Structure 1
Amino acid sequence: MSMPISVEASTDELVRRGRAARAGWLVLGLALVGIGFIGIFVPLLPTTSFMILALPCFARSSPRLEAWLLNHPRFGPGVRAWRAHGSVPRHAKIAACIGMALGYSLFWLHVRPGPLLTCTVAAFMLYWAIWIVRRPEPGAPQ
Structure 2
Amino acid sequence: MPPHPPVSVRSRLSRWGWIALGWLFVALGFIGALLPVMPTTIFLIVAAGCFARGSPRLEAWLLGHPRFGPTLVAWRRDGAIGRRAKGMACSGIAIGYALFLFGARPGVGLAVLVAAVMGGCAAYIVTRPAPSD
TM-score higher than 0.5: yes
Instruction: Give 1:135's match in structure 2, choosing from 119, 128, 132.
Output: 128
Q: For the residues of structure 1 that align with 2:37 and 2:92, how far apart are their CA atoms?
A: 6
TM-score in terms of structure 2 length = 0.93
**Residues in 2 aligned to 1:22 and 1:50: alpha-carbon distance in whole angstroms:** 19
Report the counterpart of residue 4 of structure 1 in structure 2. Answer: none
Q: SS state of the match for residue 37, structure 2?
A: coil
Q: Quick one: which of 89, 93, 96 aligns to 2:86?
A: 93
How far apart, CA to CA, are the structure 2 residues paired with 1:113 and 1:128?
A: 20
Once the 2 structures are TM-superposed, how far is the Cα of residue 139 of structure 1 from its aligned partner? 1.1
Q: Which residue does 2:60 correspond to in 1?
A: 67
Shift of 1:129: 0.4
Q: Quote the RMSD (CA, aligned, Å).
A: 1.3
Distance (Å, rounded) in 1 between the aligned partners of 2:16 and 2:37: 30
| Of 24, 40, 58, the match for 1:31 | 24
Structure 1 residue runs of 5 or longer lacking an equivalent are 1-10
Q: What 5-or-longer segments of structure 2 have no aligned partner? A: none
Identity within the alignment, %: 52
Equivalent pairs counted in the alignment come to 129
4+ residue runs of structure 1 moved beyond 2 angstroms? none
**Larger Rg over CA atoms:** 1
